[in-house]
Structure 1
């Protein structure tokens, strides 16, 4: 990808939802190194996969020779963005925000190059200017450029106002001005001419462009990426068991990998365009052959591999693949204790015990069977495995040979139902 075809490439990948003054912006990109920014409010201790598209958009611009700036919302996170939120976000203490800022900064550092010359990435925190600002000066010098009529007619604000039981506080209402001021400061001090974000940020981005034009008479640009929803109507990155986080301590690399392995088949090639840097011709070729020899399954694994490697690194990718090979392909020889620790955290159901009478009891307590009678029949029908080995003795009693690393036992019913027994040690 280069400066000349960057925007065309983004369109082909369906990465652009909104873009302002596209023809003029393309001319600017082709002539200059453009500084652009995306903001991330540390309202949690980790980013989640809903943040991946904006992060990867920054990376795409950097690979094309432009300068990405990440703005950590140390100040704005104390307010909370109301955009398309059903109710006001819980406001965290400043000390907590500071801790989360450190963690999120570390996560973001993994995606961009901070030592590549003129277009090296930069991370800033808007608390560095908001903590110095005077409330009266802000209202007089910034607030006067915004019309309440315009602000309340923005879709995100209008929806909240129409919810009588929730409404919107003045605190949240002011967020739009704060983000607009961020864009103005970055434009003034760092020559940032483009803000990117999710499509739900369009109103905030537009306000920033408006403020820059009013105060500096400069032209600024906005670009948003699509917000993704799953076929079940659930927000992308959410599962029945919760959010898929980028922090491996909150979502293990194995569970992260499995999220991508379990996406709907209809999204595989769309997501390869969005979340990888694969050549578009190669993606198209694979899509054309998706029904030949189950090619789509291999392409789904390729997607999971590329994104897991990008977010968690090669070592954690290999661990996720090892666990997958154990659970689905019965290859347990290479399993490591760290892999089993991942499984214990969030990979599969876990049964923690000091002792267990026999396999039938374990099947009942793990909910792999409804009764001892059903458990016995499962064993006799060769449906049950311990550490991937079929068990045929209906009266099987656990022994030390059943314990991996003296602490773990993997019970499986068929190919897709598993439980990990963690043998607690007597103190």
Structure 2
């Protein structure tokens, strides 16, 4: 009697479970090392600059430099991982980040610190290899869950890092940089001894600069018709998300009178909720509803939550709006999963490099846009009549992303079914 076919499972094999644990620990330590300097970097810049006005200019320059290096280097690092494997690229990047934190800890002037921020943009581009690694070791139906776990590790690092950095910053402005170097060094040693390679030699792709440069990497998104709309959805998600880095602190202080303590506590709460959604909720929801529906639900809840934040007349209502907004965390892992299913195994690094470049473009444009919107909505005679205008615009951006994602997902599913039919 013939045996029945085994249904596909979203659970990785036992060997892959160990690899997933390794990559999550490495990602957690890596992000903690970056988050730990967040509370003190602006103060160090101010100390070296000599004034608040100069510090504001330099801080904006550092953000732009970091994003620009991400845009340039992410596709290169992703393509290098497609050629030489994920493990060496991740290890070299983490080792470079360790040395970069030592350089910034010793920085005697702003130019030295600027070089450090540029190197940080280069070395942190290894996240492209982290996502490609997860695509290597998980089946397509389990990738959303895997990306959710990476997102939870990132959120955990961004919660623990700034808290630890705030404590160490009371001792010395340089202390968090030394601690960051120590954490990065620990991540390097951990990966050196326990992180296995995920991309077998026969699945590797030749390194070509025409694919590795950022514009060549973006061509990958256009060369696969199924990816184009999802890439736009991804850009809109990143664009809306940078609302918080651009205006949240100013908005919270101007509208609700919140100080640094309240803002820091809320950011930690956001990180914890994001950990819960991406680490525990993504897998079960995707298993029940599928990647596309889960993505659309996440974007829709994000739009509703940001709209409620912008309209909230009191701080408590703003906090309440954070809970539906937390389901926004369902969107990123599922977008990533849908995109990885539409390229070959040898193109996963290039895809992640292209995605990171898209995020970098949004990281350059979005803070400038939302900062300008916010500046036009405050003051004695604001051009925009409502202080929460930036939040309303971000909500509209996410709502548009949800509609586009729904339409793109339906077209992509039909295309995949057609390909399957042709294969048979």
Give the TM-score category using the shorter length.
under 0.3
Question: TM-score, normalised to structure 1's length?
Answer: 0.27
Question: TM-score, normalised to structure 2's length?
Answer: 0.27
Bigger radius of gyration: 1
Higher helix share: 2
